[in-house]
Amino acid sequence: MKNIYLIGFMGSGKSAVCSRLHELTGMEVIEMDASIVDKEGMSINDIFATKGEEYFRDVESELLYLISEESNKAVSCGGGAILRQKNVDLMKESGKIILLSATPETIYNRVKNCTDRPLLNGNMNIPYITKLMDDRRPRYTAAADFTVTVDNRSIDDICKEILELMK
Ligand code: S3P
C-alpha cells in the first residue's frame, strides 16, 4: 500500500489520528516534526529561532523526499509541509493525501496552551489563526485527495472514515 499523508493546520489532530491508525492497522507512523527534532537535535522553536523558517522548510522537504521513497507509512505532516509544491508532488506520487479540516475555534481550543509552535507564539488568538488558515486554505484544498472534517468527532470515527476512503 502507498503512504497515507495527513495534512492540515496545526492542532487539526494529525498526530493523534496517525497514532490511532497505527493501533488499528499496524501501519508504521512517521511524525515529521519529531523526526526533524531528532535529526537537528533541537526543538522546533529553537530551529525557527536560531536557523530560521527557510532552513526548517529545507529540512522538512529533505525529509519528505526520503519518506516518499517508502511505502505503507502513515505520515503526520507538519502543518506547513504543503507550502512547497515540490513536497505536494512527492506526496501525490507516493500516496494519498488526507486533509484534516477544523474550524479556527476548534484549533484555538486545542493549541491555546501550546508553546512549541513558533508560528503561533505571541499570536495565540482566533483572528490570527483564522487569517493564517484563510491564507493557507487554497494550498490545503489543492493538495488534498480527500478532506475529513474533525470538529466534534472522535478519533475512532475519523479513522473509520479515513480507512473507508483508502479502500
Ligand atoms: C508548522 C506546523 C508545525 C511545525 C512548525 C510549522 C506550520 O507542525 O511543523 O511549527 O507551518 O503550520 P504541526 O502542524 O504538527 O503543529
- Whether 85 has a pLDDT exceeding 80, the answer reads yes
The boundaries of the domain holding residue 85 are 3-162
- CA-76 nearest atom, ligand 1: 15
As a whole number of angstroms, the distance between CA 113 and CA 118 comes to: 13
Ligand 1 within 6 A of 110 CB? no
**167 domain-assigned:** no
Task: Look at residue 92 and tell me if it is in a domain.
Answer: yes
CA distance linking residue 158 with residue 100, whole number of Å: 9
| 26 phi/psi in degrees, rounded to 5 | 80, 0
Mean of pLDDT over the chain:
97
The pLDDT assigned to 110 comes to 96
Q: Between these two residues, 65 and 167, which has the higher pLDDT value?
A: 65
Assign 16 a pLDDT band (cuts: 50, 70, 90): very high
- Asked if the structure places residue 145 within a domain, the reply is yes
Using the atom order of ligand 1, give the atom closest to the CA of residue 15: 15
Domain count, the chain: 1
CATH number at residue 84: 3.40.50.300
Say how far apart CA 164 and CA 133 lie, in whole Å.
27
Domain presence at residue 32: yes
pLDDT for 89-144, tens place per residue?
Answer: 999 999 999 999 999 999 999 999 999 999 999 999 999 999 999 999 999 999 99
Global confidence as pTM: 0.97
> What pLDDT, on a 0 to 100 scale, did the predictor assign at position 1?
74
Average pLDDT over residues 136-165: 98
Is residue 35 included in any domain, yes or no?
Answer: yes
Distance 76 CA to ligand 1 centre (A): 10
The fraction of the chain above a pLDDT of 90, given in percent, is: 99
Radius of gyration of the chain (CA): 15
Is 59 a member of any domain? yes
Q: What is the pLDDT of residues 57-82, one digit of tens each?
A: 999 999 999 999 999 999 999 999 99
- Judge whether 84 is annotated as a binding position: no
> Does the model's ipTM exceed the 0.90 cut?
yes
C-alpha–C-alpha distance, residues 53 and 72, integer Å = 29
Q: Is residue 27 part of a domain?
A: yes
Q: How far is the CA of 11 from the centre of ligand 1 (A)?
A: 9
Cell of 41: 537535535
Distance 55 CA to ligand 1 centre (A): 14
Counting from 1 in the atom list of ligand 1, the atom nearest the Cα of 136 is 12
CB 79 near ligand 1, within 6 Å: yes
Residue 87 belongs to a domain: yes
